[in-house]
Amino acid sequence: MSVLDVIKTRRSIRKYQSKPVEEEKLLQVLEAGRLAPAANNAQEWKFIAVRDPELIKKLVPACGGQSFVGEAPVVLVICADGEEKIMYCGQPARAIDCSIALSFMILEAAELGLGTCWLGYFSNDKVKRVLNIPADKNVVAVTPLGYANESPAPRPRKSVDEVVAYDGWK
């Protein structure tokens, strides 16, 4: 499958089978994140693969009570390591780096037949408490990972003409 095919078929999954994710597939997903580009190649991230069912259960309230988080056999927590740096363009390097890494992981997961759902609705402090993440680290994103127990229809997307301009803002 091409990368574009994966992008076109990937969906946010909010229902998961209880089937465990094979270690080999989990490692492939994590490897995709490890190979992602990072500002100055700093790689100031930590990927936490939560597989302990009790910890996953504790992450549900930390993720705004979204019960589907607790259905997944794995939850990935993407953390920014080190002091936040602002790139010359004015953007925060660590959040962008971690977002790129998670994007790579989500696409690899989809290619392997696994579902994910990028969460923005979680409490940084609560997730840090559940997983004993040091105070000076920052949780950037969370996603459940597992085999889908649903097949959502594609969501509407704007046309290319609505989102693309050539040679300046038009």
pLDDT at 49 over 80: yes
Domain that holds residue 29: 3-150
Determine, yes or no, domain membership for 39: yes
Strand partners, 45: 80
From CA 103, how far away is CA 32, in angstroms rounded? 9
Mean pLDDT of 70-82: 95
> What is the CATH classification number for the domain harbouring 141?
3.40.109.10
DSSP, collapsed to helix, strand or coil, labels residue 45 as strand
Q: How many of the other CB atoms lie within 10 Å of CB of 95?
A: 15
Residue 84 pLDDT level (bands cut at 50, 70, 90): confident
Residue 83's pLDDT is 79
| Largest Cα span, the chain | 53
Q: Which two tokens stand for residue 89?
A: 């363009």
Q: What is the pTM of this model?
A: 0.96
Residue 140 pLDDT level (bands cut at 50, 70, 90): very high
Strand partners, 132: none
Determine, yes or no, domain membership for 163: no
Residue type, 157: R
Contacting residues for 29 by C-beta, under 8 A, at least 6 apart: 76, 105, 108, 109, 112, 114, 145
Determine, yes or no, domain membership for 106: yes
pLDDT at 82 over 90: no
Domain tally, the chain: 1
